Structure 1
Amino acid sequence: MSLRTAVVGGGTVSDNHLDGLESLPLTTLAAFCDIDSDRVRAVAAEYGITGYTDPETMFAEADLDWVHLCTPVGTHLDLATSAIAAGIPVLIQKPITETAAEYEQLAETARDHGVHVSAVHNHVFDPAMRELTTALQQDAVGEVRAVDVRYTGQTYPDDVRRGEWAFDLPGGEFEEGLPHPLYLLLRVGGYPRAEGDVQVVTHCRGEYERPFTYDGAKLQYCSREDLLCSATLTPGRVPDKSVTVHGEDGVLIADLISQTLVRLDRDYQASPIARARSNVDRAVARLRGNAANLRRVIARRRNDDWETKTELDAHAYQFEAEALALTGDREPPVPLAEAGWTIRLMEAIRDAAADRTEATQDVSVSN
C-alpha cells in the first residue's frame, strides 16, 4: 500500500519531508501547500506534484492518506484539526502545539475522530539513540536509577534561523529548539509522576533587543518508573549534546554530536591502572562508534537506497516507522502522550522564567 501524502509549509525543515516522502517506498508524494504562491509553484514543478495555497482545498481535493505539517507552531492546532476533520492522519513538526491546553484539545479531537496524530521527534532515532535503546533493552547497565540530558550550545534567543515567528516565543530561537532534549529525556527516563513534580530554574544572561524571558534552564523530576531525570539547557557557540543513563552496573553515554555510545562497566577508582582504563574504554568506544558511522557514510555514497538512507537520517527512519504504523504493521514510534509531555515541560520552563522575571522586577521597583 502506498500512502498518498502531502506537506504543508515551506520553511527550513520542509525539504527533509519532501525529499523523504518522495523516496520512501511506502508513500507517494502527492501535494504541497504553502501561503507563498511562488514557493508552491517551485516545489510543485520540482517534484511533479499538485500545489495549493489553501490547506482546506487540498484536504478536500487531494485524496490524501497522510499529511505532514511543517508550519510555525502557532498554526499547528488549526491545521491539524482541519486535517483530522477530513479523516487524514497527521505528522506534526515539534512541538506539537503551542500550549498544553491546545495539546489536550488536539488529542481529544484525534480520539473523537479515530485519526492518528503524531509529532516529529527525530533525534530519538539518531544512530546513537537507537544503540542506547537496544543496550537498555538488553539490560546493559542493570537497574537504571537516573537519566541526565545535557544540551548545551543551543541557538541564542535572537539568532536568525527559522523565521520571525520564533521571536514571539518567550525564549525565542532558543526555545524553538528545546523540544529535542525534552523528548529525549521523556523517552529514556519516562514521564513525570505529575506536572507539579517538575522543578525548573532558569536564567537570562544575555542582553537582547526583544523581551525574551530566559536563555538557559535546568529541569528535573522523578519519573513514574522512579528514575531521577534532569536536563541542562543552555545556548552557546560550541554544541555539547548527550544522554547519560546511570545504572547499578554501569553507565551509558550517548554522544549526539559524534553519534557514538560509550559504556562504562567497571570500578575505575580501584587503582591507577583502573583509572587509566577509564580513558581507554571511552576512547575505544568512540573509535568503534566513529568506524560504524564511517561505514554508514561510505555505504550511503555507494548506494543511496532507502534502507541505507535510514541508517543515517533520523527523519527518514521516523517517516518509515510512522508509515508502517499507519498501514497497520507496528505501533506508532512516537506516542501522542510523549508529544503532550514535551509541551508540558516547555510550559514549566516558561512559567519558571516568567516567575523569575516578575520577582526581579519587583525587587527593582522596591529598590
Structure 2
Amino acid sequence: MTLRTAVVGGGTVSEVHLSGLSKNPRTELVAICDLDEEIATAKADAYGIAAYTDLDELLAAEDLDWAHVCTPVQSHLPVAKTIIDAGVPIQIEKPITETYEEFEELAAYAADAGVTVSEKHNHNFDPVVRRARRRMESGECGTIKGVEVIYTGCSNPDDPNRGPWNFELAGGEFEEGLPHPLYMTLRAGGYPRSEDDVRATTSLLGEYEYDFTYDGAMIQYVSDDDVLCRTTMLGGTRPVRQLLVHGSEMSLTADLISQTLVEHDRDYKASGAARALNNVDNALDRVAGTVQNFRAVLKRRNSDDWDTERLLNAHYYQNHAESIALEAGDPSRMPVPLSESRWMIRLMAEIRAAAAADGPAAPIDAEAIAGDPE
C-alpha cells in the first residue's frame, strides 16, 4: 500500500515536503495546491503531479490518504478543518496554529472526526539528536537532572524569509522559528509538571518598522520528572544551536550545526591531568563526529537509497515514521503526539504574554493533555 498524498501550499518550506514524499516508497505524491496558479503549476511540473488552486477541488478530485499543510500559519486552522471534513489525515507545518485557543479548536475538531493530525517537529529527528536520545534512554547518562536548548542566530522579526504574512505575528519571522527549540526541550526534558512552573522572559533589542514585541526569549520550567528545563532563543546573532543534557553519570552536548555529539563523562575537577584529558575527550568526540558525518554525506551522494536519505534528513525521517503509522492505522505510533504540540503552542503563548506584559495566557486543559495518545 502507498499513501496518496498532496501538499497544500507551495511556499519555501513546501520543497522539503514535496521532495521527501516523492522519494518515500510508502507515499505517492499526487498533487500540489496553491492559491497562486503559477506557483502551483511550476511545482506540479517539477514533480509530474496535478496542480490545483482550490482546496475543495483538490479534495473532490483526488482520493487522498494524507495531506501536508504548508500554508501561512494564519490559515492553518481553516485549511486543516476543510481537510478533516474530507476524512484525510494531516501533517501541519509548525507552528501548528497561531494561538493556543486555535490549537484546542483544531484538536477537538480532529478528535470528533476521528482524523489523525500531527505537526512537523523535524529537529527531534536530526541524526545527532537521535544519538543523544539513545544515550539517555539506555541509562548511560544516569538520572537526567537538567536539559537546555540554546537556539541563537534566529531570524530577526523583519526578515522576509517566508513572506510578509510573518510580519503579522507578534515576533515576526523570529516567532515563526520558535517551535524548533521549544519542541526539542519538551521531547528531551519532558512536559511541564504544571502551568505554574513555566516562566517566560523576553527582550526587544532591535528597532523595526513594524510593531513587534520581542526578538529574544527565554523560557524555563520543571518537568513531570523533576528535570529543570530551559530554552534560550535569540535573533540576529551568530548561530549556536545545541541540546545540552545534564545527567548524574554523563552529560551530553548535541550540536545541531555540526551534527556532532560530545559526551562529558570525566570528572575534570579531579586533577590537572583530568582537566587536560577532558579537553582531549571533547576534541576527539568532535573529530569522530565530523568524520562520521563526512562519511554519511559521501554515502548519500553516491546512493539514492531511501534508507540512506531518511537517516540523514530529519524531515524525511519523521515522514517515514508517520507513513508507517498511517499504513498501520495506529495513531498511537505517530512520532509527534498532539500532546507535544499542545505544550509547544502553550509555551509560545507564555512567551507572547510575557512580551505583551498583559498577564498570563489562558489556562491549559490538563485533562485534554492526559487524554492525548503517546
Aligned to 2:227: 227
Query: CA offset at residue 340 of structure 1?
Result: 1.2
Aligned to 2:217: 217
The within-5 A match list for 1:127-146 is: 127-146=127-146
Q: 1:345 is matched by which residue type in structure 2?
A: L
- Deviation string 1:136-156 (CA, Å, 9 cap, x unpaired) is 111111010110111111111
Hey, what does 1:44 align to over in structure 2?
44
Counterpart residue identity of residue 325, structure 1: A
Aligned pairs (5 A) from 1:119-158: 119-158=119-158
Residue 88, structure 1, aligned to residue 88, structure 2: yes
Corresponding residue SS for 1:327? helix
**After the TM superposition, which residues 214-293 of structure 1 pair with which residues of structure 2 at under 5 Å, given as runs?**
214-293=214-293
Is the Cα contact below 8 Å between 1:147 and 1:189 reproduced in 2? Answer: yes
Structure 1 residue 348 corresponds to structure 2 residue 341: no
Deviation at 1:311, TM superposition (A): 2.1
Work out the CA distance in 2 between the residues paired with 1:19 and 1:249.
Answer: 41
SS at match of 1:284: helix
State the one-letter code of the partner of 1:252.
L
User: How many residues of Structure 1 are paired with residues of Structure 2 in the alignment?
Assistant: 357
Give the aligned partner of residue 361 of structure 1: none
3-state SS in 2 of match to 1:193: coil
- Once residues 295 and 271 of structure 1 are traced to their aligned partners in structure 2, the CA distance between those partners, rounded to angstroms, is 36
**Residues 1:22 and 2:53 are matched in the alignment:** no
Indicate the SS of the match to 2:268: coil
The equivalent of 2:75 in structure 1 is 75
C-alpha spacing 1:356/1:239, structure 2 compared with 1 (3 Å) = farther
Contact 1:269–1:275 (Cα < 8 Å) also in 2: yes
In structure 1, what residue type is equivalent to 2:340? E
SS of equivalent to 1:269: helix
Q: What displacement does 1:356 show?
A: 7.8
Question: Structure 1 residues 329, 54: CA separation in 2 closer, same or farther (over 3 Å shift)?
Answer: closer
Q: Is structure 2 residue 169 aligned with structure 1 residue 169? A: yes
Q: Cα offset for 1:124?
A: 0.4
Q: 2-side partners of 1:188 and 1:181: how far apart?
A: 11
Give 3-state SS (helix, strand or coil) of 2:132's partner.
helix
Is residue 2:192 matched to residue 1:192? yes
The alignment partner of 2:320 has SS state of helix
Rounded Cα–Cα distance in structure 2 between residues aligned with 1:201 and 1:38? 43
Counterpart of 1:167 in 2: which secondary structure? helix
Shift, 1:236, TM fit: 2.6
Superposed structure 1 runs of 4+ greater than 6 Å apart: none
| Counterpart AA for 1:298 | L
Question: 8 Å contact 1:296–1:311 — kept in the other structure?
Answer: no
Q: Give the letter for the 1:117 counterpart.
A: V
C-alpha distance in 2 between matches for 1:215 and 1:32: 34
Among all aligned residue pairs of Structure 1 and Structure 2, give the percentage whose two residues are the same amino acid: 54
Q: Which runs of 5 or more structure 1 residues have no equivalent in the other structure?
A: 358-367
**One-letter amino acid matched to 1:248:** S
- 1:305 is matched with which residue? 305
- Matching residue of 1:109: 109
Partner of 1:58: 58
Query: Aligned to 2:270, what secondary structure does the other structure show?
Result: coil
The corresponding residue for 2:341 is: 339
C-alpha separation between the residues in 2 aligned to 1:217 and 1:130?
26
Q: Deviations over 1:189-222 (max 9, x none)?
A: 1111222321011110111111110111111001
Structure 1 residues 155 and 264: CA distance shift in structure 2, 3 A: same
* Equivalent-residue separation in structure 2 for 1:305 and 1:149 (angstroms): 32
CA contact (8 A) 1:202 1:356 kept: no
Displacement of 1:329 after TM fit? 7.7
Q: Structure 2: how far apart are the matches of 1:33 and 1:226?
A: 45
Give CA-to-partner distance per residue, 1:280-314, whole Å, 9 cap, x none: 11111111111111111010011122111112211
